[in-house]
Structure 1
Amino acid sequence: MYVEWRRMERTGLRRAQESVVPLWERTRRFHIYSSWLIPGPVQTGPYIEALLKSIRDRRQLTDDVEEAVRVRVAKQRVVHKGDHSFAIVLEEAALRYRIGGPEIMAGQLGHLLTAASFPSVSLGIIPLTADRSHIWPVEGFFLYDAEVANVELVSAHLTVTQTHEINLYAQTFAALSKLAVYGAEARELITSAINSLG
């Protein structure tokens, strides 16, 4: 299903955040790939606020950022429930794009280090130096229990439910995961990004 942002956000950002709460609550296995942002389940409040303010300003939306941040932070409770798992793969560039300035990024990256140690989270980072001969960066996506995929486009939110398309997203996630580093190597990349903030 293709839903334009202007339709989804016509009453503000809070409603868009609330619309995915049921999906987050019923999903047990999340597979998340992001090439340009730290994904929602492991974002800090200040990082979320900076993102949503940018969206509000760019799209000239009703100012309900404060309420939208509260909803988004509340959604993160699923990260701490034992029956949910999060396999997250990020491009190293996502660690280095500055959202909200150095202080907010430092806090966000510090939180990412902590989140990587949560029992429910597997965090992989694809180094900038990885050989991309076989698979290059693609659009960011969330895969929910290998049944639904969500993709955020410039103009719209795309929900994918066709089995053959879901399989392509699952295969793509698996291929990207193989390029990622985990554990100490991932922590080293995060720490390097923190140190680069000055």
Structure 2
Amino acid sequence: MPISPSSSAQAAREAVAQRLKELRADTGLTGPELAAHCGWSHPKTYRIEGARTPPSADDIRRWCQACGVPGQADDIIAQSRTAESMYVDWRRKVRTGLKQLQNSYVPLFKATELFRVYSPTMVPGLIQTEGYARGLMTSITRFRDIPNDVADAVTARLERSRIIHQPGHRFTMVIEEAVLHYQLGDSDAMAAQLGYLLTVGALPQVSLGIIPSATAERPMWPQELFHVYDDTLVSVELLAARVQVTQPSEIATYVKAFEELRSMAVYGADARILITKAIDALH
């Protein structure tokens, strides 16, 4: 039985609480003794350890200081933040349509210098054409049975994608070759999208890699679609939800996976050959 969003979040909160409890136990401090070091009442210690009260960043720093491991505070703070915002239910995020979702990314995009995107299923949103985006969003709207604001959502997506041409940003994107053959929209829309990949892949600020389907003995198996924003956030897209990863050790795992995937991809002329083959296959 799949884990519900609420139980996933609770499990993550409990993991933070257990980690803090183990730090206290390893130090040999009792609950009241730790409370005295931190400057709060001892019931608060037990509420935090019982995952009934989420600790603030300051609480975690005091806790780690009292246990003699201040260097662990940043990682635990990130873990705690992830627990509170890790699971964004798509039903809640898109209940009023898709335009609002597109606009919600704009501040993050503006603040990000290095975008790393891996997609096994579709052309990344930042380099989608109008027809392709319309085909994709029409399918999403139908599947999720949400208000149809596809026209406005497509406009919003194209507007936010202009960041590709704005200074101060770099984009490294890796897709599986199969993406070139998954037809979203009609043949004309797909042909236009593939043609745009030839154009955007030549931009100096964009690195577009394609992992050939025939790659032998892959060192990394296909992953879920994920975005890495600088080294501060990973957004993983699942069917039911978006998972946001902010814990440094977990971000490092995704960066490592991305580098493995990137090393398997072909670029430049070899990538253009795969795209051209996909275009020819449409006719």
For the criterion TM > 0.5, the same-fold answer is yes
TM-score of the two chains, using structure 1 as the length reference = 0.98
TM-score of the two chains, using structure 2 as the length reference = 0.69
1:118 corresponds in structure 2 to 203
1:61 corresponds in structure 2 to 146
- 1:134 deviates by 2.0
What secondary structure, in the 3-state scheme, does the structure 2 residue paired with 1:93 have?
A: helix
In the alignment, structure 1 segments of 5+ residues that lack a partner are none
- 1:82 deviates by 2.0
- 1:111 deviates by 0.3
Q: Aligned equivalents of 2:241 and 2:168: distance in 1?
A: 30
- 1:131 deviates by 2.1
Q: Report the AA paired with residue 155 of structure 2.
A: R
Q: Aligned equivalents of 1:132 and 1:36: distance in 2?
A: 21
Q: What is the number of equivalent residue pairs in this alignment?
A: 198
Q: Report the AA paired with residue 68 of structure 1.
A: A
1:101 corresponds in structure 2 to 186
Identity of aligned residues (%): 46
Residue 133 of structure 2 corresponds to residue 48 of structure 1: yes
Q: Aligned equivalents of 2:111 and 2:98: distance in 1?
A: 22
What secondary structure, in the 3-state scheme, does the structure 2 residue paired with 1:159 have?
A: strand
Q: Aligned equivalents of 1:28 and 1:78: distance in 2?
A: 10
Higher relative contact order (CA 8 A, sep 6+): 1
Tell me how large the CA RMSD over aligned residues is: 0.8
Q: Which structure has greater strand proportion?
A: 1
- 1:133 deviates by 3.8
Q: Report the AA paired with residue 95 of structure 1.
A: L
Q: Aligned equivalents of 2:244 and 2:186: distance in 1?
A: 31
- 1:151 deviates by 1.1
2:100 corresponds in structure 1 to 15
Q: Report the AA paired with residue 132 of structure 2.
A: Y
Residue 257 of structure 2 corresponds to residue 154 of structure 1: no
Q: Which has the larger radius of gyration?
A: 2
CA deviations 1:15-36 (Å, max 9, x no partner) are 1111111101110100000001
Q: Which structure has greater helix proportion?
A: 2
In the alignment, structure 2 segments of 5+ residues that lack a partner are 1-85
> Mean alpha-carbon deviation: is it higher for 126-135 or for 88-97?
126-135
